[in-house]
Amino acid sequence: MSRCSHSQDVHGPYETYDLGDFELEAGGAIRGLKLAYVTFGKLSPGKDNAILFPTWYSGTTKNLEQAYVGPGRALDPSKYFIILVNQIGNGLSSSPSTAPPPFNAARFPRARIGDDVRAQHRLIVERFGVERLALVLGASMGAQQTYEWAVRFPDAVARAAPIAGTTRTSPHNRLLLDNFIAAIASDPAWDGGWYADASAVHRGLRRHARLFALNGFTPDLYAQALWRKLGFVSDEDFLTGFVEGHFLPQDPNDLIFLARKWRDNDVSRAGGGDKASALARIKARTFVIAIEEDGFFPLADIEAEQKLIANSELKTLSSKWGHLALLGVDPGYDARIDAFLKELLSLS
Amino acid sequence: MSRCSHSQDVHGPYETYDLGDFELEAGGAIRGLKLAYVTFGKLSPGKDNAILFPTWYSGTTKNLEQAYVGPGRALDPSKYFIILVNQIGNGLSSSPSTAPPPFNAARFPRARIGDDVRAQHRLIVERFGVERLALVLGASMGAQQTYEWAVRFPDAVARAAPIAGTTRTSPHNRLLLDNFIAAIASDPAWDGGWYADASAVHRGLRRHARLFALNGFTPDLYAQALWRKLGFVSDEDFLTGFVEGHFLPQDPNDLIFLARKWRDNDVSRAGGGDKASALARIKARTFVIAIEEDGFFPLADIEAEQKLIANSELKTLSSKWGHLALLGVDPGYDARIDAFLKELLSLS
CB atoms near residue A196 (< 10 Å)? 8
Contact B182/A at CB under 8 A: yes
Q: What is the pLDDT of residue A271?
A: 84
User: Of the candidates A178, A203, A223, which has its C-beta nearest B210's C-beta?
Assistant: A178
Complex-level ipTM: 0.92
Strands B285-291 and B312-317: parallel
Q: What is the pLDDT of residues B26-47, one digit of tens each?
A: 999 999 999 999 999 999 999 9
**B contact test, residue of A207, A232, A240, A244 with most B CBs within 10 A:** A207
Inter-residue contact B17 to B127 (CB < 8 Å): yes
Chain B residue nearest residue A225, CA to CA: B171
CA count, 13 A, side-chain hemisphere, A22: 27
Q: Minimal CA–CA distance to B251: which of B321, B292, B305, B201?
A: B201
Q: Mark yes or no for CB contact B186/A182 under 8 Å.
A: no
CA distances from B110 to A166, B91, B93, B145, B312 (A): 44, 15, 14, 16, 32
> Kind and range of the H or E element at B338?
helix B331-346
Q: What is the pLDDT of residues B268-296, one digit of tens each?
A: 998 889 999 999 999 999 999 999 999 99
Please give the Cα distance from B266 to B275 (Å, whole number): 8
Residues of A with active-site annotation = 140, 294, 323
Instruction: State the pTM of this model.
Output: 0.94
Please give the Cα distance from B328 to B317 (Å, whole number): 14
Inter-residue contact A165 to A141 (CB < 8 Å): yes
Inter-residue contact B58 to B3 (CB < 8 Å): no
Buried-exposed string B11-34: b where 16+ CB fall within 10 A, e elsewhere: beebeebebeebebeeeeebeebb
Q: What is the pLDDT of residue A244?
A: 98
Q: Kindly list the strands in the beta sheet with A312-317, ordered across the sheet, starting from the edge strand earlier in the chain.
A: A15-18, A34-40, A81-85, A50-54, A135-139, A159-163, A285-291, A312-317
The tens-digit pLDDT sequence of chain A (348 residues) is: 333 334 445 676 999 999 999 999 999 999 999 999 999 999 999 999 999 999 999 999 999 999 999 999 999 999 999 999 999 999 999 999 999 999 999 999 999 999 999 999 999 999 999 999 999 999 999 999 999 999 999 999 999 999 999 999 999 999 999 999 999 999 999 999 999 999 999 999 999 999 999 999 999 999 999 999 999 999 999 999 999 999 999 999 999 999 999 999 999 998 889 999 999 999 999 999 999 999 999 999 999 999 999 999 999 999 999 999 999 999 999 999 999 999 999 998
Please give the Cα distance from A184 to B182 (Å, whole number): 12
Contact A213/B at CB under 8 A: yes
Inter-residue contact A96 to A253 (CB < 8 Å): yes
Contact A239/B at CB under 8 A: yes
User: What is the identity of the amino acid at B219?
Assistant: P
- CA B124 from centroid of its chain's CA atoms: 18
Q: What is the pLDDT of residue B9?
A: 57
Q: Mark yes or no for CB contact B219/A301 under 8 Å.
A: yes
CA distances from B170 to A98, A176, A206 (A): 41, 22, 21
Q: Which residues pair with A16 in a beta bridge?
A: A36
Min Cα distance A109 → chain B (Å) is 24
Q: What are phi and psi of A132, to 5 degrees?
A: -145, 125
Rg of chain B over all Cα atoms, to the nearest angstrom? 19
Q: For residue A229, what is the DSSP state?
A: G
CA distances from B199 to A47, A181, B136, B207, B254 (A): 64, 23, 35, 14, 13
CATH superfamily of B8-169+266-346: Alpha/Beta hydrolase fold, catalytic domain (3.40.50.1820)
- Interhelix angle A171-185/A252-263, rounded to 10 degrees, is 170
**A contact test, residue of B179, B181, B293, B294 with most A CBs within 10 A:** B179
Q: CA angle, A335 as apex, A331 and A339 as ends, to 5°?
A: 170
Before A102, cis peptide (omega within 30)? Answer: yes
B300 interaction partners in chain A (CB closer than 8 Å): 219-220
Which chain A residues in 98-137 lie under 8 Å from chain B, judged by CB atoms?
none
Chain B residue nearest residue A188, CA to CA: B188
Give the class (CATH, top level) of A8-169+265-346: alpha beta
Q: What are phi and psi of B135, to 5 degrees?
A: -160, 135
Q: What is the pLDDT of residues A161-191, one digit of tens each?
A: 999 999 999 999 999 999 999 999 999 999 9
Please give the Cα distance from B25 to A193 (Å, whole number): 46
User: Of the candidates A186, A203, A213, which has its C-beta nearest B175's C-beta?
Assistant: A213
Contact A301/B at CB under 8 A: yes
Q: What is the pLDDT of residues A221-252, one digit of tens each?
A: 999 999 999 999 999 999 999 999 999 999 99
B323 in catalytic set: yes
- CA A67 from centroid of its chain's CA atoms: 13
Q: Is residue B2 over pLDDT 60? A: no
Chain A residue nearest residue B210, CA to CA: A179
Q: Is the Cα dihedral B95, B97, B100, B104 positive or negative?
A: positive
Q: Mark yes or no for CB contact A219/B178 under 8 Å.
A: no
Please give the Cα distance from B225 to A171 (Å, whole number): 9
Min Cα distance B282 → chain A (Å) is 24
High-pLDDT (> 70) share of chain B, % = 97
Contact B215/A at CB under 8 A: yes
Please give the Cα distance from B139 to B325 (Å, whole number): 10
Q: What is the pLDDT of residue A5?
A: 39
Contact B270/A at CB under 8 A: no
Q: What is the pLDDT of residue A10?
A: 65
3 state SS of B227: helix
Please give the Cα distance from B22 to B34 (Å, whole number): 10
User: Of the candidates A170, A223, A301, which has its C-beta nearest B172's C-beta?
Assistant: A223
Q: Is residue B309 over pLDDT 90? A: yes
B202 in catalytic set: no
Q: What is the pLDDT of residue A341?
A: 98
Q: What is the pLDDT of residues B155-190, one digit of tens each?
A: 999 999 999 999 999 999 999 999 999 999 999 999
Q: What is the pLDDT of residue B320?
A: 97
- Residue B1 pLDDT grade (very low, low, confident, very high; cuts 50, 70, 90): very low
Under 8 Å CB pairs connecting chains A and B tally to 83
Q: What is the pLDDT of residue B10?
A: 65
Q: What is the pLDDT of residues A117-130, one digit of tens each?
A: 999 999 999 999 99
Q: CA angle, A127 as apex, A126 and A130 as ends, to 5°?
A: 75
Contact A236/B at CB under 8 A: no
A203 interaction partners in chain B (CB closer than 8 Å): 186
Min Cα distance B234 → chain A (Å) is 10
Q: What is the DSSP string of A154-202?
A: GGGBSEEEEES--SB--HHHHHHHHHHHHHHHTSGGGGGGT-S-GGGGH
Q: What is the pLDDT of residues B42-66, one digit of tens each?
A: 999 999 999 999 999 999 999 999 9
The catalytic residue among B294, B301, B330, B334 is B294
- CA B208 from centroid of its chain's CA atoms: 18
Contact B171/A at CB under 8 A: yes
Contact A222/B at CB under 8 A: yes
B208 in catalytic set: no
Strand stretches in chain B, DSSP E: 15-18, 22-23, 29-30, 34-40, 50-54, 81-85, 135-139, 159-163, 285-291, 312-317
> Kind and range of the H or E element at A289?
strand A285-291
Inter-residue contact A30 to A23 (CB < 8 Å): no
Q: Is residue B3 over pLDDT 70? A: no
> Kind and range of the H or E element at A66?
helix A61-68
